[in-house]
Amino acid sequence: MTSSRRQLLQGAGAAAVLAQIGMIRRQARAATSAVAEIDTATNTEGPARSPWRRHYGLEADLVYLNHASVGTVPLPVQTAHESYLRLCETNPWLYMWSEPWIEPREAVRKRAAALLGCDWEELAIIHNTTEFFNVLAQGLPLGAGDEVLFSSLNHSGASVCWSHHAATRGYEVRHFEFPLDGLADLSEDEIVERHLRAIGPKTRVLVLPHVDNTVGLRHPVARIAAAARARGVRWIAVDGAQTVGMVPVDVRALDADFFATSCHKWLQSPKGLGLAYVRRELQSELRPMWVTWGQKFWQGDARVYEDYGTRAMATELALGDALEFQAAIGATEREAHYLGLRRRLRELVEAHDQLVWLSPRSWALGASLIAVGVRDRSSAELAGKMFERHGIVVRPFSLPGLDALRVSPNLANDERDLERFVDAAIA
């Protein structure tokens, strides 16, 4: 028995604590069982109808096509989350810092690590993607003569932090423009070449999105990483907020040194959770952003980057149920659903002269995140009217070279939603 557990049992009473441990284990099993009972029958109708729509609590007349910003939490996962919260409040002290949480929380970590293709000691459970890029910006051993590089497709959450910390740490930050015109027919070779042309003699960190959040370009990360290392880049940091849960992810196959994602998007977990992969060999080089009691205790694995103290334990457990929900449907079935929706949207867009497809045409370089232009219409103005008049939620982007509506459907969506979107866009 560990000293921490012995002290806990002595302080609170062995029988009472063991009873609470048993209760949370039963609660976790019950929640997982409820999630697993979702209808996982094969979707014979393809994207025309979503067999999973009934598992979401969206308003009946709402067409929600903005999962790339904030995903929808399935009802079974909501129920599990609520049950953990109720259990936690029966003894707040016990369920915050003591033994009952350890086993189920670490089970969630191991399951999430398996999803990303890494060891559980390489995975930190954090708050979101932005948090981890702040860890990198202030924690990597960078200084004068070093450069951090990223393209204009990089999300601000993975960009702003570098400039902020560069001012005091002495390294340089440079970004290069990634032209958005002609992107629909861009080849993988051209994507790699644009990154290689931008790398300079001082580039030590290359930051790139797995899929960018504007037009849905899926970067050939492994090819870019290999070519970048050959040119002297030391660290490859990948923003995976738009891929984990949408398409299979293997961080080792991507050859990423660091990889972070936000679980509230495509994994559809309760808000406020993220995952960060730190290659084992690099953990001694990356300093944590904040520390409390756990640095010596967690030395040697990625939990040093989540040394917060008080945690949202019920939310972390519910992440396990979100992973269970996704697994119950299956990665192949989910990807097929996203691909089918994407194909149908392209058909609808190309059938109307008013609409323009602005994302990559191929699935290999694309995602369930598509930019659609509407000729002679402001995307910001149109998005507001679509919500007010038709209950349709999309994200507008008005950038140099791009004025578009971003459409990002998920499991709750089907072709009817896409048809309503197109009808409203051309009305």
Q: How confident is the model at residue 192 (pLDDT cuts 50, 70, 90)?
A: very high
Residue with tokens 């644009």: 194
Closest CA to 212 of 128, 150, 162: 150
Strand, helix or coil for residue 370: strand
Q: Contact 404/396 with Cβ under 8 angstroms?
A: yes
pLDDT tens sequence across 73-105: 999 899 889 988 888 888 887 777 777 778 888
Q: What digits encode the pLDDT tens for the residues 313-369?
A: 999 999 999 999 999 899 999 999 999 999 999 999 999 999 999 999 999 999 999
Q: How confident is the model at residue 308 (pLDDT cuts 50, 70, 90)?
A: confident
3-state secondary structure of 142: coil
Please compute, for residue 422, the number of CA atoms within 13 A of its CA located in the half-sphere on the CB side: 20
Residue 152, CA atoms < 13 Å, CB-side half-sphere? 11
**pTM recorded for the entire structure:** 0.92
pLDDT bracket for residue 3 (50, 70, 90)? very low
As given in the structure block, the two tokens for residue 209 are: 């999105």
Please, what are the domains in the chain? Answer: 115-326 (3.40.640.10), 331-426 (3.90.1150.10)
Distance CA 133, CA 135 (A): 5
pLDDT at 371: 98
Q: Within 10 Å of residue 382's Cβ, how many Cβ atoms?
A: 18
Element at 406 (helix H, strand E): strand 402-407
pLDDT digits (tens, 9 = 90+) for 230-275: 999 999 999 999 999 999 999 999 999 999 999 999 999 999 999 9
Please report which confidence band the pLDDT of residue 158 belongs to, taking 50, 70 and 90 as the band edges: very high
CA dist 60 and 37 (Å) reads 23
Report residue 12's pLDDT band, with 50, 70 and 90 as the boundaries: very low
| Residue 15 in this model has a pLDDT that exceeds 90 | no
Q: What count of Cα atoms within 13 Å lies in the side-chain half-sphere of residue 101?
A: 21
pLDDT value for 316 = 94
State the average pLDDT for the chain: 90
- What residues contact 83, with CB distance under 8 A and at least 6 apart? 27, 30, 31
Of all residues in the chain, what percent carry a pLDDT higher than 70? 89
